[in-house]
Amino acid sequence: MSKPRSRSAPPFSARDLEVNWALRGNSVEVEDLYMDPADLAEFSSVRIFRGLHPRTMYWVDDNKVLKLFSYLVDVLVMVANMDLARTRVPVPRVLRYGYSGNCSYILMEKIPYLTFSAAMEVWKLNYMPAQVTYWIDYTVRELAALGLSHNDLFPRNILVDGNGTIVSIIDWDACTPHHAGVEYARMIRNSNSLFLEPGVQDWYHIFLRHSFDRTGEEIAIGCSKRHPRLLCQWPLVKSKASLQLSSPVTDPRNQSFSRQKICPVRQSRSGQSSFTEH
């Protein structure tokens, strides 16, 4: 049996632990996460459905979700953010949280609906419905008013019913105070992902419009030493990046609102939007 780890270190939030906190990629924490069996004895069934090393997830009694994190992660912060967000947007109820075994954990209700990402495949949608984009705008605005940024607001973290009505937002692990959020930058960084759902680019201008610090978002994209391959100018702010790449979309709504010099979208003779420099 492995020796229990010391808990002398303070708990940290996702923001404190930087970008790869959930990946536990420092090769230091390599053991599997587990809870004290006594804390699970009251449940009739506990089935793993996501066994990835960073965060282990279980179905509990088929109506609850159990998420395990590194013991360094302060789940109190996550729960507080979820409770605050629930005053404006639909969020799963937290039933229990704390520390057990070699990890921290959150036990919450299971919302029995498809993610919007899965629903798009079932319904064979190759575009983003306008009502979903409007709802995302409402959600980002309401969270910003509460001083929060979800930071992982993709279709895979939105649950919908059979009519396409959004019933819940999940995965609040990366939620931060609004002033520390970089949701727009994260969206742009994932813009060329092969797993990006059709139409997600229509959300970019929403995150930029409601961001706490628009210039800071641009710096996070254009001058990131952590992601050198993403040293791109988006939205093509000349003073903040050294390498110019083509943008993932040509929607003029996604242009910067900062006072820095930018390369605006112009209409070419062929009718296609293109970027040209002043």
Contacts of 37 (CB under 8 A, 6+ apart): none
Higher per-residue confidence, 221 vs 131: 131
Looking at the predicted structure, is the pLDDT value of residue 195 above 80? no
Residue with tokens 């937290």: 94
- What pLDDT does residue 189 have? 72
Mean pLDDT, residues 219-247 taken together: 45
Higher per-residue confidence, 185 vs 122: 122
- What's the pLDDT band for 208 if we cut at 50, 70, 90? confident
- What pLDDT does residue 205 have? 85
Winning range, highest mean pLDDT, from 138-142, 215-219, 235-239: 138-142
Q: What are 236's two structure tokens?
A: 């093509």
Cα within 13 Å of Cα(139), Cβ side: 26
The greatest distance separating any two alpha carbons of the chain, rounded to the nearest whole angstrom, comes to: 71
* List of long-range contacts for 238-242, beta carbons under 8 Å, 24+ apart: 238/262, 238/263, 238/277
- What's the pLDDT band for 201 if we cut at 50, 70, 90? confident
- What pLDDT does residue 182 have? 79
- What pLDDT does residue 241 have? 35
